[in-house]
Amino acid sequence: MINKVRKRAVTIHVSDNNGDRLQGVEINVKQVSKDFPFGSAIAKTILGNVVYQNWFVERFNAAVFENELKWYATEPHPGQINYTIADEMLEFVRVNRIITRGHNIFWEDPKYTPEWVRNLAGPQLESAVSARIQSLMSRYREEFIHWDVSNEMLHFDFYERRLGPNATLRFFQMAHESDPLATLFMNEFNVVETCSDANSTVDNYISTLRGLRRGGVSMDGVGLEGHFKEPNLPLMRAILDKLGTLKLPMWLTEVDISSTLGDEAQAIHLEEVLREGFSHPSVNGIMLWTALHPNGCYEMCLTDANFRNLPAGDVVDNLLGEWRTKEVDGKTDEHGSYSFEGFLGEYEVTIKRGDQTANSTFALCQGVETRHVTILL
């Protein structure tokens, strides 16, 4: 399935200026970027840490800030808004052309709601949430590809209990008005991880999403956290299949494996989950929840503190290599053509015949037809 979903056939034609095809031309093809977003959470610990930064950039083309955009981090006390850390992290991903998810605007779990917000109600709370959206979204308009608007709303309902049943609906509406180009996501745990959580069944997820859309919300993304213990792959596949019928962007947003299993078991199950996600045609991106701190990671680390791979890190590195087109060398055939199959992404091509050389680039996007590229020599 990976070959069908994530790769595409290419035929490179080489012609002279008269349009005649040239046989025996040497061709070298290199993939320079990947189409599929695969990344990890990062934290403020990456700032100023050149070794961590280089390690991250060598592997990932996508990121999400673990905690630094959350309300409790940016406004721990009323009116004392500080985006300094988030700004510095944003500069890092900008410089390295890493796409980044916005996580999150609100968190429905009162435990992770600022203490001063928990003490508000009625008009005061309405004013605070409006100011939060306006401040955050105006500052970072068009910077983040996604926003998790109301995190874990199937399990918690802090704002609905305080502001009424349409609170989340208004959050999505205000977020869309503030940043209409960002894709707005539901983000939830225990949807693909298990079938034993009554709050987050796939049917409940779909029902809630459709209810928001009926309310006029531009709610365009399916976020599945993916905090697994022992993954049930047939269940995961069936749920992805069902959510895929919505025809919306779907991401695994916070993938890790429980630390209770130990390093080797984590690695085994991580590979299972990543292969299942990458091979599913409806999954548009995968994020790991592996931001590194001095005391470790949330549940699963890829490396130790010195950036030596742990077993899970070996899995990631091996898959990154496997899911990238190896450098291709060949010669055009009697028809002046050379064909191969490559992973989706951007490519550089060098062709050579005698002392003649030409360079070109092309992008390989999703499609069932062979991609044809013509280069003049």
Integer-rounded Cα radius of gyration of the chain = 23
Torsion 104-106-109-113 (CA) sign? positive
The pLDDT of residue 4 is above 90? no
Predicted confidence band of residue 2 (pLDDT cuts 50, 70, 90):
confident
The predicted-structure confidence for 15-55, as pLDDT tens digits, reads as follows 999 999 999 999 999 999 999 999 999 999 999 999 999 99
Strands 146-151 and 371-376: unpaired
Q: Which residues are catalytic?
A: 152, 254
Whether the bond into 104 is cis, omega within 30 of 0: yes
**Would you say residue 218 has pLDDT above 80?**
no
**Residue 13: C-alpha distances to residues 27, 261, 320, 350, 359 (Å):** 10, 52, 29, 12, 13
Mean pLDDT of 150-174: 95
Encoded tokens for 326: 């190896």
- Terminal Cα-to-Cα distance of the chain (whole angstroms): 37
240 within 8 A of 282, measured Cβ to Cβ: yes
Domains with residue ranges and CATH for the chain:
2-32+327-376 (2.60.40.10), 37-322 (3.20.20.80)
Q: Which helix (H) or strand (E) holds 221?
A: strand 221-224
| pLDDT band per the 50, 70, 90 thresholds, residue 7 | very high
pLDDT given at position 216: 86
Mean pLDDT check: name the lowest of 94-108, 122-136, 215-229.
215-229
> Do the Cβ atoms of 29 and 348 come closer than 8 Å?
yes
Residues in CB range of 176: below 8 A, 6 or more apart: 184, 217, 218
Give the position of tokens 């006029």: 216
For residue 243, count CB atoms less than 10 angstroms from its CB and return exposed for 0-12, middle for 13-18, buried for 19 or more: buried
Parallel/antiparallel/unpaired status of strands 146-151 and 183-188? parallel
Average pLDDT taken over every residue of the chain? 96
Q: Residue 64 pairs with which residues in a beta bridge?
A: 41, 101
Task: For residue 192, give Cα distances in angstroms to 236, 243, 366.
Answer: 5, 10, 25
Exposure b/e, 287-304, CB count within 10 A at least 16 = b: bbbbbbeeeebbbbbbbe
Cα(116)–Cα(108) distance, rounded to whole angstroms? Answer: 15
Q: How far apart are CA 150 and CA 169, in angstroms?
A: 10
DSSP string, 343-356: ESEEEEEEEEETTE
- Residues 6 or more apart whose CB falls under 8 angstroms from that of 31 comprise 324, 325, 342, 343, 345, 346, 347
Whether 219 has a pLDDT exceeding 80, the answer reads no
Query: What per-residue confidence (pLDDT) applies to 183?
Result: 94
- For tokens 């955050």, what's the residue? 136
- Other C-beta atoms closer than 10 Å to the C-beta of 359 total 11
Indicate if the pLDDT at residue 220 is higher than 90: no
In this prediction, residue 288 has a pLDDT band, given cuts at 50, 70 and 90, of very high
For residue 46, the 8-state DSSP code is: G
Model pTM score:
0.96
How many alpha carbons lie under 13 Å from residue 362 in its C-beta half-sphere? 19
Q: Which residues of 56-85 are buried (b: 16+ CB within 10 A; e: fewer)?
A: bbeebbbbbbbbbbbbebbbeeeeeeebeb
